[in-house]
């Protein structure tokens, strides 16, 4: 498992990683998963990480970068309407 971007969130990230790997291998891949039972732990991790990013001012930097790249995202994230004809048969 890798460490969290925020060291203070390592413990909850490790709990989520362990939960997810167990759920994925024992339930999802076997087709017996009915819900994501790790979601509450993920939400705890997400909350911890959001708080840490906010305290460091990183959330503002991310917002600025996203704003600056909105046009690029709009252009490059367009759905492809058809497969181009490459002349191969």
Tens digit of each residue's pLDDT (9 = 90 or more) over 23-47: 999 999 999 998 889 999 999 999 9
Give the separation between CA 57 and CA 39, rounded to whole angstroms. Answer: 26
Which is more confidently placed, 65 or 40?
A: 40
Structure tokens at 20: 């997810």
Q: What is the CA radius of gyration of the chain?
A: 19
- Find the helix or strand (DSSP H, E) in which 85 lies: none
What pLDDT score does 39 carry?
96
Q: What is the pTM of this model?
A: 0.68
Which tokens is 55 given?
């305290």
Q: Which run of H or E residues covers position 60?
A: helix 58-68
pLDDT at residue 79 is higher than 80: no
Listed by start position, the domains of the chain span 7-60
Least confident window among 10-24, 44-58, 65-79: 65-79
């Amino acid at each position: 498992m890798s460490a969290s971007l925020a060291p203070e969130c390592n413990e909850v990230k490790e709990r989520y990683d362990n939960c997810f790997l167990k759920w994925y291998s024992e339930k999802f891949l076997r087709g017996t998963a009915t819900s994501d039972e790790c979601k509450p732990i993920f939400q705890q991790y997400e909350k911890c990480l959001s708080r840490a990013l906010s305290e460091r001012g990183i959330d503002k930097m991310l917002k600025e970068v996203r704003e600056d790249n909105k046009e690029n995202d709009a252009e490059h994230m367009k759905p492809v309407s058809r497969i181009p004809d490459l002349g191969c048969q």
